[in-house]
Structure 1
Amino acid sequence: MSPWRLFAVCWMLACGERGEAGSVAPVADAGVTGATVPRAVAPTSCAGERDEAAALRCWVELLAGPELGGRDNGSPGGAAARAAIVAGVRAYGLEMAGETGSFEQPLPRGANVLARVPGRDPARAGEHVVLAAHYDHLGEVDGVVHPGADDNASGVAVALAVVRRLAADPPARSVLLAAFDAEEPPDYRTPSMGSDYFVARPTIAREQLVAVVCLDLMGGDLWDGYRSPLYVMGRETFVRPPAPALREDPRLPVRAMHLRLVEELPHGRQAFSDHGAFFGSEIPSLFVSTGRSPHYHQPSDTPETLKYDKMLAAVDVVEAHVRVLADMPDRPAWARDQPLRSADAAVLAELLAAGLGEGGVRGTDEFTGLARPRLLADLARARALAGAGREPGEAEARELIAISLRAQCLLTVDHEVPTAACLLL
């Protein structure tokens, strides 16, 4: 098993003018530097789509379409995806925030797309909240295209919808849209990963980057038949957790979750998306995801598998968090003390109960058979810690992390890790 597969095992969570007939028309000025896009993958954009729900679907279908071949960074499809995003942010009225008066930051392979919504308050406009989503995917694996609709055309589509709203009504601080390249292997967790490269060589002074909201896997469900929540992770990295309070939405449950529950692996802590570079620099970090669906890193990760009503609801949630961070009177500050809370145990218990089929919720086959007795015990323990009337200590926090890792491991596709191995975690 390659290292990136091992990391994936432990992660429940790592479009142009349209014509009247719905065809995508090419944009003449792609704005791409250092790349030649073949005619077969000519750049297009969804910026002309006025309806927000239709625009979300358009962006996903464009980025995950067969013409882009899976958007491997450094490929013609990756360059076409980048050109489409550049055309979109230009049409939405965002400012260039890349290198040498452009929307791009060249990487060893590919390039990041960086665009800015200027803040309305002159006193705070120099500070930037980063809204990040990587646009690359795996390309071809063993000759088979992996479209990457959920991973991460969905995140890019949601981010573009949010900045479109922000451009029409800017917050006090500026917002930097960072569509990162090179998030996937072989660049993952190397200096050439798009987010790592940006944090090491920011086009905006690092001290002006006050927070990041990272989007990855925004349109799927953890298993078929279960409307899994949108997890907002990382609130513990802020001295004052960013409001608003998480509210129920019939289209999309929203839950706060501690990052340790998905990132603290047996060999050490491991971030699974582009927030990791910011977290490592002690920049307050939110990681927002609906979780790793059964289509994760599979050829079946196609546009028709996504839940677009869920994505539309996610736009509201992400916009609300970005606006709170960008409008806070005081600059967001890094919290050095980041304990797990009883609320984290409650969220974990909710997931386990759903997977086990409690309360009429359709469970998952991965939680049956050999795994079921262990998970029933895990559920009882999580509920006990959630209802203890006090916050868990460090030893109890480690129990919760182990419970979370077992569940995450079991939710991977069966051929990656046997059930018995997951139960040893």
Structure 2
Amino acid sequence: MNYRYITSLFLMFFSLASCKGQTETPKVAVEVLEQNWFHADSLLHHVEVLSSDVFEGRRTGTAGAEKAKNYIINKFQELQVVPLTKNFEQHFSFTRRSKEYAGTNVLGLIKGSVKPEEYIVLSAHYDHVGVKGGKIYNGADDDASGISALFAFAEYFQKNPPKHSVILAAVDAEELGLVGSKYFVKNSIIPLENIKLNINMDMISRNNKNELFAVGSFHYKQLEPAIKSIQPSENIKLIIGHDGSDTLDDWTQSSDHAPFHDVNIPFIYFGVEDHKDYHKPTDDYENIHPNFYQNAVTTIITVFKKLDTTEL
């Protein structure tokens, strides 16, 4: 346990509490992992499992994707997440380049303690690109990392029930054109006006510069204070950008948050910049950055916690 870090947090809090004349709102310190928001070993374990060769790259419509779907359902059940649909599944079909596909979104629900009729959707995609040229593309960062983060949120909610209802959405067919998230939005089980926010996680487990980007507040200014008010975990550099407001690539339409944005549902997309293993067979568990990943998930939960207590 990092006692020096905890002591410094205490001293900082005591100092701030003593300054009656202070007018600037202090940043909210991120809780340390030792306070059991989630189990760090479980977070890593699920990425390792889902990105193993057994799942054959989790391409939509394959046996590997079916195994991944069942794994997610079983884990949701273990974590006391209730199904949003019968057996958690939302089925859809589509055609791409003359090929028929059958996909399945996995949807769980955590009922809100204060505003049960208002929903926050936490999303990540479980599909990847499958097998090419005899090589398995395991997609550890893209996006087994996001799926395992959904499990971490479910662990967090066991001791920290959310005020808004939360949908845990493990969506399919992102790699084939965001098909699963588009279907979720167009065929919403919850009235769209009741969905107040989407937090999407896609590639959050590695970055050589410890940079985690938060995309969306350029379009939805009301989200910016929550992002800026928290002190990111450990060495994480939480950066607002990649949203059309700077010279960086615009990620507004790059992942499963896009269908929500297209119907004016506010979103925050958490992700990292492309790395050398992006969409390559080397995107394996061994190449993620465990400390960065754990701290990134802690930071994302902290942003969620802040937003969950605000008027969305």
In the other structure, the counterpart of 2:32 is none
Report 1:371-410 matches (<5 A).
Answer: none
Partner of 2:146: helix, strand, or coil?
A: helix
TM-score, structure 2 as length reference: 0.80
Structure-2 residue corresponding to 1:203: 189
Question: Counterpart in 2 of 1:93?
Answer: 80
Separation in 1 of the partners of 2:125 and 2:64? 14
- 1:179 pairs with one of 152, 170, 184: 170
Give the TM-score, by structure 1 length.
0.59
1:58 aligns with 2:45: yes
Q: 1:315 aligns with which of 280, 288, 297?
A: 297
Give the Cα separation in 1 of the matches to 2:184 and 2:137: 26
**How does 1:136-215 map onto structure 2 within 5 Å?**
136-185=127-176, 188-189=177-178, 193-215=179-201
For 1:119, which of 97, 107, 112 is the aligned residue? Answer: 112
| 1:103 and 2:88 aligned | yes
Pick from 220, 230, 233 the counterpart of residue 206 of structure 2.
Answer: 220
Bigger radius of gyration among the two: 1
CA–CA distance in structure 1, aligned partners of residues 275 and 66 of structure 2: 27
Which residue of 1 is the match for residue 259 of structure 2?
Answer: 277
Moved more, 285-294 or 129-138: 285-294
Structure 2 residue aligned with 1:305: 287
User: Which secondary structure state, in structure 1, belongs to the residue aligned with residue 57 of structure 2?
Assistant: coil
Counterpart Cα distance in 2 of 1:114 and 1:231: 25
Shift of residue 118, structure 1, vs aligned partner: 0.6
Q: Whose strand proportion is higher, 1 or 2?
A: 2
Deviations 1:197-247 (A, max 9, x none): 1000012121111100000111122xxxx3230111112233422515242
Asked whether 1:237 is paired with 2:219, we answer yes
- Contact 1:130-1:177 at 8 Å conserved across structures: yes
Q: What is the SS of the residue equivalent to 1:237?
A: coil
- 1:19-61 per-residue CA deviation (whole Å, 9 max, x = no partner) reads xxxxxxxxxxxxxxxxxxxxxxxxxxxxxxx971111111111
Equivalent-residue separation in structure 2 for 1:155 and 1:274 (angstroms)? 11
Counterpart-to-counterpart distance in 1, 2:50 and 2:306: 29
Q: Secondary structure at the match of 2:143?
A: helix
CA distance in 1, matches of 2:49, 2:298: 22
What SS does the aligned partner of 1:287 have? strand
In the TM superposition, what is the alpha-carbon distance from 1:102 to its structure 2 partner? 2.2
Match of 2:273 among 280, 291, 300: 291
Residues 51 and 179 of structure 1: CA distance in aligned 2, closer, same or farther (over 3 Å): closer
1:367 is matched with none
User: What does the per-residue CA deviation read over 1:234-275, in whole Å, with 9 as the maximum and x for residues that have no partner?
Assistant: 1223342251524244342211225114554xxxx8611000
1:159 shift after superposition: 2.1
What is the alpha-carbon root mean square deviation over aligned residues?
A: 1.8
Distance 1:94 1:249 in 2: 26
1:77, CA displacement in angstroms? 0.6
Amino acid at match of 1:95: V
SS in 2 for 1:129: strand
- Return structure 1 stretches of 4+ with deviation > 4 angstroms: 261-264
> Deviation string for 1:130-160 (max 9, x for gaps)?
1100010000122221000010001111121
Separation in 2, partners of 1:51, 1:233: 24
Q: Do residues 132 (structure 1) and 115 (structure 2) align?
A: no
Work out the CA distance in 1 between the residues paired with 2:38 and 2:152: 10
Confirm or deny: 8 A CA contact 2:230 2:302 kept in the other structure: no
Structure 2 unpaired stretches of 5+: 1-36, 94-101
User: Distance between the aligned counterparts of 2:64 and 2:187, measured in 1?
Assistant: 25
Q: How far is 1:305 from its partner?
A: 0.2
**Would the aligned equivalents of 2:215 and 2:252 in 1 still touch at CA under 8 Å?**
no
Residue identity over aligned pairs, in percent, reads 28
Question: CA contact under 8 A between 2:234 and 2:295: conserved in structure 1?
Answer: no
Q: Does 1:76 align with 2:63?
A: yes
Deviation by residue 1:53-84 (Cα, 9 ceiling, x = unmatched) = 11111111111001110000111110111111
- C-alpha distance in 2 between matches for 1:143 and 1:239: 46
Q: Is the 8 A contact 1:129 1:322 kept in 2?
A: no
Segments of structure 1 that go 5 or more residues without pairing to the other structure are 1-49, 333-425
Q: Cα–Cα, structure 1 residues 258 and 246, in superposed 2: closer, same or farther, change >3 Å? A: farther
Offset at residue 318 of structure 1 (A): 1.2
Contact preservation (8 Å) 2:230, 2:303: no
Q: Give, as a single letter, the amino acid of the residue that structure 1 aligns with 2:44.
A: R
